[in-house]
Structure 1
Amino acid sequence: MLAAERQRQILEKVRRHGTVRTTDLAKGFSVTEETIRRDLDLLGRRGHLRRTHGGAMNATAPLGELSQQEREERQLDEKQAIAREAVRLLLPGETVLLDASTTALEFASNLPEGLPLRVVTYSLAVVERLATRDEDIELVQLGGMYEQRGRRFSGIITENSLRSLRIDRFIFSGGGLHPTLGVSEPNPEQARLKRMMLEHCTWRCALLDHTKFGVKTDYFFAAPNELEVIVTDRESRAYAKSHLKEQPYDLRFAR
């Protein structure tokens, strides 16, 4: 296959799926990963896609935040693996705050039966996911102004409700992870809210799949030295080995 035809097909995959992985493309086209990296670099320089660690994303997608439904469809396998690893960190009787990320939604789905917890969230999706659980989970919904696109609440009512609660662990995600600047969000209101939540809790854990590593979005809310743990998938190992040496947090890889 000519390089131009391969690159055309790569662009079709990016536009259809939103993101692609270098390893998957190399297997699909029966070429080396280095060949695919050259293709992606060329397409990135021409503005047809945006390069990410381990692959690329659609350049025609808005730089702003995706809707809840759009986010749920991306990297689902990785999010589920990350969630299964992260729930191992919990202890009985804790109060756990979940953000409105789709990775936190998978975390909620993987909470083990019989582990008594109080789960606090401002995500309607998380509330719906946990609403049928038995008495082992005490579910607390933070109210506020409802945002339909993100299926979540925010604003002064949300913040005041949070201040009245003790939070043991804050489980959250973000739009990107920079080695020195930390975790960021494309949405300024979400970044401000998560910053407040970060300061209110005693233990913080970021759930980030490999597509977030090395990515900078506009609003940073969590510095590296403010995190206790980052849980990620195995695809992040190469980036972590090169860029995340001697970090102050514990880096855990999903099994």
Structure 2
Amino acid sequence: MNGQRAWITGGASGIGVGVARRLAEQGAGVVLVDRDPDALEAALATLPPGVRALELDVTATERVVEMVAATDPDDLPDILVNSVGGDTRKIPFTELREADLTHAVTENLLGCFTMTRLCAPTMVRRGAGRIVNLASIAGRTYSIFSNAAYVAAKAAVIGYTKQCAYELAATGVVVNAVAHGPIATERLVLAQRAMSQERRREVMDRLPMGRYGTLDEAVGAVLHLCGEDAGYTTGSVLDVNGGLHV
């Protein structure tokens, strides 16, 4: 990955910042894309020198289009990791409203959709590229942590990944998804702390390995799909869930 350009959306926290660290350590020129300036500043302080920050809300489509159009094509990514998303609100589907679906699609699919369609053409012209979309075990089956709107949005991420992979298969650009199960990111740890002891035991009893995945385990799966060895892998969904969905 030495010398390649990598953009990580949602890169200032969680799996995104872990991916950024590993890519930078392997010699990639990494840009963290995130809408939270404080989180970007904090993340940069923990990352290798040379990692850059781009304050951008990838759900603000007009601004994203303008930014990519104004960027020198040589600075656009060879590797794009779309990691924006998430929802730890456990809400019965009968209590959800259409606004919840709109929110879930905006937060989990829209930025992935826009960044992929805007960055892929430059990768095609180069004859190579890696796009990795963070889906979720929720998009593969159901969620024990979240809600039906989130599940629908993550399922859409998987469908979008597969169609893009099909259309780009002959170009050297591969598109894949990683469907993580429960990973011990700060967000999930905080959600766990807010649970009752009974609810916490119930969740742990559902996990075949009896634990959450580590950040390193989550990041490693993404790194593989960013690398040269993934050149013949496209349209795949890599499950990282400790046996929760097999």
Which structure has greater helix proportion?
Answer: 2
Q: Which has the larger radius of gyration?
A: 1
Which structure has greater strand proportion?
Answer: 1
TM-score by length of structure 2 reads 0.42
TM-score by length of structure 1 reads 0.41
**Larger RCO: Structure 1 or Structure 2 (Cα < 8 Å, ≥ 6 residues apart)?**
2
